[in-house]
Structure 1
Amino acid sequence: MNSWALRIRRSTTLRGALLVWLALVYTALWGDLSVANLLAGLVIGAIIIFALPLPRIPVNGRLYLPALAELFVTSVYYALESSFQIAWFAVRPAPPPVSGVLRVNLSTRSDLVLVLCTDLLNLIPGTMVLEINRPRCVVYVHVLDVSSDRAVEKFYLTTRRLERLLISAFEREVPR
């Protein structure tokens, strides 16, 4: 099979998987598994796919599954850890922590990794990405607890680890 036919087959497979995913999300949002909801989800998904196509994102390298698995486990751990931290801040008999905006210089070359990194930072409770400066690869993040140097350093270590895992999972060079 030539490369043109493979690209067409891959594109069709991806669109089909996306259509099924959108139909499942639509059905889950309605909270009722019925034929009518599945059909409506397929119709709305098809409209979204064909009327509002997303631009192609260039991805260099190959997906590296061990780093992706470590990234998943690490992200879940950080989300749970910060959820408990926020719960403790809510019930402890003390004033709320000092919050602030921190600048994070990222070293990624990929728009995909930059977006995934900011998404992961937004999923961690107590943090919110406020601004992304793509040309300089700088992200400004609101952090709930910047009351000590230790808390700030912990945030930067978390960010660096997530970025390192994302780069190793998605930006690995293609072996020759």
Structure 2
Amino acid sequence: MSKATRDMKIVLDAMAQLTGKHSAVALQTVLSDTAKHGRERGVAAIGGQVALSKQYIGRHLRVLPPAQKGDYWEAGVQATRRGVLLSRFENRGLRVPKKHPRRGKGSTKHGGVTGMVKPGRRYTEPKFFFIGLRGSGAKGIAVRTGQGRDAYKVLHGPSVSQVFQSVRNDIAPELQDRAARQVAGLLLEAFE
């Protein structure tokens, strides 16, 4: 058990000894504030791992309000588990010159897609192409899987949830310290 976790448990146990409606409201306020701060830190940490806009990440992280689970209170941050279309990441189409003897020098054709899933690591794939997705109207990036009109696969990158799972342990100690400081401040106010 880390020092921050042990300190947080001591402070929460002290808070639980205070009875009445005011302690529950104070605890809910601390948990709600910490969860909101955790969402903000999660957006920043995820933005450092993948090339998605902060607004997109923010839309796919939500704060779970404080709820009592037995003797304990919980609040948290929940992320969307659905994979992110590769077209949501930074990308652009490539154009290459046509190699046709009767055409002029300015003639070009589609030459694939270049983009970035991880910041600083660019991919270039000549077999990728853009496609309009049926139903949603969104644009996707696909690759052929065989012959025929519908023989393609729409590509996805990591979900916001997958990236959040990889960064949440990095931000957890900071959030525990923040909550412990707030609860300790409330306890000092209550005993003055």
Q: How high is the TM-score relative to the length of structure 1?
A: 0.26
Higher share of residues assigned strand: 2
Greater helix fraction, Structure 1 or Structure 2:
1
